[in-house]
Amino acid sequence: MYYLSCISFISILLAISFPYGAVAENHQNKTKRPNILLVVLDDVGMTDLGSFGSEIKTPNIDNLANQGMKLNNFYTAPTCSPTRAMLLTGLDNHVVGLGNMYEELSPNQIGKAGYEGHLNNATISLPEILKQNGYSTHMTGKWHLGLDEKTSPAAQGFDNSYALLNGGGGHFNNLGLFGKPALYRENGKLVSLPNDFYSTKFYTDKLISYLETEKNKEAPFFAYLSYTSVHWPLQAPQESIEKYKGKYHQGYEKLAEERLTKAVELGIFPNKSQLPPLLHGEPSWQEVKDEQRKVEERNMEIYAAMLDDVDTYIGKLFDYLKSINQFDNTLIFIMSDNGAEGHNIKHGLNELKPWIEACCDNSYKNMGKADSYLLIGPNWTRASVGAARLSKGFTHEGGIRAPAIIKLPYSKEKSMDKNRVLSKFISVKDVMPTILNVINIPKPQKKNTTHNVIDMTGHDFLSKDKYIAEMGWELMGRKAYRFKNWKIVNAQPPYGSGNWELYHLGKDPLEMKNLAEINNVQLQLMIKKWQYYAKNEGVIIPDWLSGY
């Protein structure tokens, strides 16, 4: 009797000491806090994943979505580094150093607080606070939050890191985005890429190697896997591209229709959702000449191959976690960093044209190889964004709405409906506070940190607390503010009038019916909200837009 009482007492003591009970496939793992795997996809659109309506084969991501929840109202910044800044801090990008991408800083923004071009010390980043609470921390892939050693992942709390410092690069080599070679650091030190480099494979394998060195330790891990696919240049192994040969002969308009139909069936978009019109001046598929059709189809085949490869290597990582009995005990969050990329040489990136012509071979036979340099363009992107207008770089819905998936660790799964679409408004700023609440770590606050910090503005999106859909945006002078179903947008011509436009997203998700002239009261209310947001977060409109 005394023996049984001791056993019971010890069991109770263990349960109190380790409330998170990491449970692996056999549910007999040593008890510890859940691991965290954060995966960021680059420029992947709302309907690019199979579980969101795509024909592209993404079974590993889709299976995860079926185990967890799909987020279909997940909002980001219009581009990559501002989103990553919010993701890792739970704060607006204008506060934490990425008010603008460092490549695009205007003269009046340089040297100003919130526009450092790297994460500042306004708060403690997610890897830092996890490391302080006993996590081992690892990162591979795109960083884009600082170029030098003092602003690299090694200085932001990562025990191990292999990071692309720039906004993108060649997927087989260090071919830069605008002519300069892409830079990489491992654990803070500049390094050169291996000869057999393929970005998706390399980042996955490198992360697994980091985790392998820690697998026998008691500490839980935080792994941040930041792919560069499907960011341009479009490049993939030929065998991957061949899997999609001939799959897109129907053209971009038909693909957009098929994806939207499937996305509606899956609950990603509501019934009666519609596609936006083709951008002004863009030809219908019927108007595209046969020779150009071949090129267009090949572009999309490469794009599909890149995302297919991402899924393949995510599957490899999942298999590894299962092999060490850590998959069930891992909180997994997968997201894209912004809406799908829709620029091409004619739309917004015409400065690339002379450089591409000098550096690269974009002949049909060479498309997708290491010395080719291709962009997907706005017409295929129309299929990727679905029932939304415009794309990456814009504060319209197509630029700031992205797919996301969450799977909770086994010990927390009872609180989550599986294979469910979570349709509440969720911001990328909400990811960090949600993760911290799941693992019961307090948010960084002035009273519990080593230096003054700004309290997070993000919410725990899994909590029962109700909060209003509200968020402000600004990037390179493109502005927006959302309050409930109302939204104002201000974009320069030819994408906007240069004046505030007012939309009701519940009735007009495509942002096509400007209500500014007929509802001036609501317009002025929304403008005041944006002005308060801009003042509170330190927004500085670039001086090349003086008077805008």
Q: Is residue 371 part of a domain?
A: yes
Looking at 57-143, list the stretches that DSSP marks H as alpha helix, in order from N- to C-terminal side.
59-67, 80-87, 126-132
**Same domain? 188 vs 292:** yes
Inter-CA distances, 8 with 2, 17, 18, 23, 31, Å: 10, 14, 15, 20, 17
Element (H, E) at 141: strand 136-142
- Choose one of 441, 467, 493: the last residue of a domain: 467
Q: How confident is the model at residue 10 (pLDDT cuts 50, 70, 90)?
A: very low
459 among known catalytic residues? no
Where are the extended beta strands (E) located within 169-228? 184-186, 189-191, 221-226
Cα radius of gyration (the chain): 23
Is there a single domain that holds both residue 230 and residue 370? yes
Inform me whether the pLDDT recorded for 2 exceeds 70. Answer: no
Task: Quote the pTM value.
Answer: 0.92
Distance CA 468, CA 425 (A): 8
**Co-location of 435 and 489 in the same domain:** no
163 and 122 both lie in a single domain = yes
Instruction: Assess whether 79 and 151 both reside in one domain.
Output: yes
- Shared domain check, 515 and 372: no
Domain stops at, among 416, 435, 467? 467
In a domain, 140, yes or no: yes
Q: Is residue 10 part of a domain?
A: no
On whether both 287 and 360 belong to a single domain, the answer is yes
Q: For residue 329, tell me if it sits in a domain.
A: yes
At 58, the pLDDT band (50, 70, 90 cuts) reads very high
22-50 mean pLDDT: 77
Give pLDDT tens digits for 84-135: 999 999 999 999 999 999 999 999 999 999 999 999 989 999 999 999 999 9
**pLDDT score of 207:** 98
- Asked whether residue 389 falls in the same domain as residue 335, the answer is yes
The yes-or-no verdict on residue 530 having pLDDT over 60 is yes
> Domain boundary at 433, 467, 501, which?
467
| DSSP characters over 264-298 | HHTTSS-TT--PPPPPTTPPPGGGS-HHHHHHHHH
Q: What pLDDT score does 357 carry?
A: 86
CB within 8 A of 168, min separation 6: which ones? Answer: 42, 142, 177, 182, 228, 231, 232
> Both 344 and 379 in a single domain?
yes
Please report, for the domain that includes residue 497, its CATH number. Answer: 3.30.1120.10
447 and 498 within one domain: no
Where residue 447 falls among pLDDT bands split at 50, 70, 90? low
Residue 417 has what pLDDT? 67
Among residues 57, 86, 108, 23, the alpha carbon closest in space to that of 476 is found at 108
* DSSP percent split of the chain into helix, strand, coil, nearest 5: 35, 15, 50
Sign, Cα dihedral of 401, 402, 403, 404? negative
27, part of any domain: no
Q: Tell me whether residue 144 is one of the annotated catalytic residues.
A: yes
Is 272 a domain residue? yes
On whether both 399 and 290 belong to a single domain, the answer is yes
Average pLDDT over residues 196-212: 98
Task: Summarize pLDDT for 455-491 with one digit per residue, the tens.
Answer: 899 999 999 888 999 999 999 999 999 999 999 999 9
Q: Which of 94, 138, 144, 459 is catalytic?
A: 144
Judged against a pLDDT cut of 70, whether residue 31 lies above it is answered with: no
- Mean pLDDT over residues 439-458, rounded? 80
Q: Round the average pLDDT of the chain to a whole number and report it.
A: 91
Given 80, 94, 138, 231, the catalytic residue? 80
Answer whether 124's CB lies under 8 Å from 444's CB.
yes
Residue 14 in this model has a pLDDT that exceeds 50: no
**pLDDT reading at 49 higher than 70:** yes
Q: Is residue 17 part of a domain?
A: no
The CATH number of whichever domain residue 418 belongs to comes to 3.40.720.10
Q: Are residues 474 and 459 in the same domain?
A: no
Is residue 14, in this structure, part of any structural domain at all? no
Number of domains in the chain: 2
421: domain range?
33-467
